[in-house]
Amino acid sequence: MSDTTTSPRGGTAAAPLFEAEGLCVTFPGRGRGPGRATTVDALRGVDLAWAEGEVLGLVGASGSGKSTLGRTLMGLQQPSSGAVRFRGEALTGPRDRAFRRRVQMVFQDPYQSLNPRRTVGAQVLEGLDVHGIGAPGQERTALAVAAMERCGLAPVERYWHRYPHQLSGGQRQRVVIAAAVALGPQALICDEPVSALDVSIRSQVLGLLAELRREEGIGLLFITHDVGLAWALCDRVAVLHHGELVECGGVEEVLGSPRHAYTRELLAAVPAPHG
Ligand SMILES: Nc1ncnc2c1ncn2[C@@H]1O[C@H](COP(=O)(O)OP(=O)(O)OP(=O)(O)O)[C@@H](O)[C@H]1O
Ligand SMILES: [Mg+2]
């Protein structure tokens, strides 16, 4: 067991769960005139370490490369150059099943992860089936039920037979998180997980994520354009600007006394969190 739960805000007590080294992602872009090919450098040599059990915020304006970085760690996007390591091992190409059990992705729009034609219960069970977790039947169902309860979908009977369109946005996001949690993940890559939710629901879902970290030791990469949310939830924060990592460190250090002009600009739009 690691002792990451005791790592202080801004500390780096544990060995990195993920490391990005010199990570570059270039997309083909559209030229301005006929035959003019351009490219978009979505990530430009990003070096970043994310410790086990840590809540690492990834902030930056729209188009700064946040989602691209999350997708590249997840293996949904191939880097043009540079390396991604998971627990010290270099990852290339599509991720294997063991990785997909350990690291799950939560998107802004839960519909992106949910099948509109399958019930909630069936979808939480599906991952357990795929990964062969628990004996088929009662034991597997009990694991799915426990994950749903853990994620605030209780009483479970009320939700089990519903379809995604019969739930609120917050409940749908809880189903996505429950399906992930059922597999016993080490880390969740959350890409704007509460941006589509209204404010009261937003804090409940954030509370759930914070609890999962505190009680289950699940690390979070929390991607957000909302610096205030990062301040409230994260241990460390990394600031992306036009695909470059301009600042990274403890949340108080980076957001409390930002060194980079761009970080100050992001903060200018946010009301002070303390007081
Ligand atoms: N599949 C793609 N093809 C071409 N360009 C892309 C692709 N995906 C992203 N980009 C470009 O890469 C850059 C970074 O995009 P990305 O989606 O990572 O930004 P983001 O920080 O997540 O923005 P937002 O806050 O709006 O979600 C942008 O200029 C975007 O247009
Ligand atoms: Mg994005």
Residues counted in the chain = 275
How far is the centre of ligand 2, averaged over its atoms, from the C-alpha of 190 (Å)? 10
Q: Whose CA is nearest to atom 2 of ligand 1?
A: 27
Quick check: is 30 in a domain? yes
Quick check: is 8 in a domain? no
Q: Is the pLDDT of residue 76 over 80?
A: yes
Quick check: is 240 in a domain? yes
Quick check: is 156 in a domain? yes
152/132 Cα distance (integer angstroms): 24
Torsion angle (degrees, nearest 10) of CA 49, 55, 59, 62: 100
How far is the centre of ligand 2, averaged over its atoms, from the C-alpha of 50 (Å)? 19
Quick check: is 4 in a domain? no
Number of structural domains the chain divides into: 1
CATH number of the domain enclosing 156: 3.40.50.300
Question: Using a 6 Å CB cutoff, which residues line ligand 1?
Answer: 27, 40, 42, 60, 62-68, 225
110/204 Cα distance (integer angstroms): 16
Percent of the chain residues topping a pLDDT of 70? 90
If one counts every other C-beta atom within 10 angstroms of the C-beta of residue 173, the result is 30
pLDDT in tens, 24-39: 999 997 656 666 678 9
Q: Token pair of 31, please?
A: 């030229």
> How high is the pLDDT of residue 176?
97
> How high is the pLDDT of residue 1?
37
Average pLDDT over residues 217-226: 96
How far is the centre of ligand 1, averaged over its atoms, from the C-alpha of 43 (Å)? 10
Q: pTM score, two decimals?
A: 0.91
Quick check: is 138 in a domain? yes
Quick check: is 107 in a domain? yes
Gyration radius of the chain over CA positions: 19
Task: Give the residue numbers spanning the domain of 108.
Answer: 13-268
Q: Are strands 81-86 and 16-29 parallel, antiparallel or unpaired?
A: antiparallel
Q: What is the pLDDT confidence band of residue 111, given thresholds at 50, 70 and 90?
A: confident
